[in-house]
């Protein structure tokens, strides 16, 4: 995903073959989207990126030992808070995010937490041998890390308004916005800072919700 400079007689680094791509210590999978942050803001101002539902403005952490996904899309977007939201701070009520959309997802040992005035609302599920499952799962993130990420048949740099793989969820980014899509992705030690999550179906085996002094 990155480029490296070369000078003199050094031969340029060969691009990775199309197909299976393995990323060791994968951090910020959405880095390419953040690299065009100024473009995203400009496109949003022009109305090229549609606003999604109003977010609360309170980020939450999602972690899982393992994510297995069939049908993957990712692109940049801009989330909006409700007018005069007390959580807007100095953001102007807008948060630049990386949208990750998955057709079918399995998450092992899911943990989700959000800080509420010094305590945490803490949710766990999928930790008794049956993973959490979701259909048409979409997350809006500012941070996404993993100990190891593996993609199959990944396409990087496509126009997110033209995603056309047969098995992807069908989410669309703005016209001309950088995007990537893949047939499958597996991420170990997943950790996200999210501002929104949606799903058509969400099954949480062994669900446990509580207040805690610690987050995920």
Domain ranges in the chain are: 21-212
Report, as an integer, the average pLDDT of 70-85: 94
Question: Does the structure show a pLDDT above 60 at 41?
Answer: no
β-sheet bridge partners, residue 166: none
pLDDT tens, position by position, 121-143: 999 999 999 999 999 999 999 99
pLDDT band at 52 (very low <50, low <70, confident <90, very high): low
**Do 172 and 160 touch, CB atoms closer than 8 A?**
yes
Sorted by sequence, the CB contacts under 8 Å of residue 9 that are 6+ apart come out as: none
Number of residues that this document lists for the chain: 216
Report, as an integer, the average pLDDT of 187-196: 97
Question: Does the structure show a pLDDT above 50 at 110?
Answer: yes
CA distance 186 to 150: 5
DSSP secondary structure string, 148-209? Answer: EEEEES-EEEEEGGG---TTS------TT-EEEEEEEEEEEEEEEEEEEEE-SEEE-TT-EE
Give the other-Cβ count within 10 Å of 30's Cβ. Answer: 20
- pLDDT score recorded for residue 26: 34
pLDDT band at 168 (very low <50, low <70, confident <90, very high): confident
- pLDDT score recorded for residue 195: 96
What Å distances lie between residue 125 and 49, 108, 129, 134, 145, CA to CA? 34, 8, 10, 13, 20
CA distance 123 to 207: 7
Question: Does the structure show a pLDDT above 70 at 27?
Answer: no
């Amino acid at each position: 995903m990155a480029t490296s400079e070369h000078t003199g007689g050094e031969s340029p680094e060969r691009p990775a073959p199309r197909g299976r791509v393995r990323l060791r210590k994968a951090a910020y999978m959405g880095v390419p989207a953040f690299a065009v942050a100024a473009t995203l803001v400009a496109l949003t101002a022009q109305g090229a990126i549609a606003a999604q539902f109003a977010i609360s403005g309170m980020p939450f952490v999602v972690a899982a030992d393992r994510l297995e996904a069939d049908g993957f899309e990712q692109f940049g977007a801009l989330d909006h808070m409700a007018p005069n939201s007390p959580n807007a701070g100095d953001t102007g009520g807008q948060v630049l995010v990386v949208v990750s959309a998955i057709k079918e997802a399995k998450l092992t040992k899911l943990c989700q937490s959000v800080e509420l005035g010094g305590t945490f609302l803490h949710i766990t599920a999928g930790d008794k041998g049956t993973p959490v499952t979701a259909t048409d799962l979409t997350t809006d993130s500012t941070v996404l890390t993993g100990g190891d990420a593996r993609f199959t048949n990944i396409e990087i740099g496509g126009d997110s308004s033209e995603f056309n793989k047969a098995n992807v969820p069908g989410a669309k980014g703005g016209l001309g916005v950088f995007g990537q899509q893949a047939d499958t992705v597996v991420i170990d030690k997943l950790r996200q800072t999210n501002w929104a999550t949606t799903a058509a179906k969400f099954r949480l085996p062994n669900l446990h919700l509580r207040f805690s002094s610690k987050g995920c």
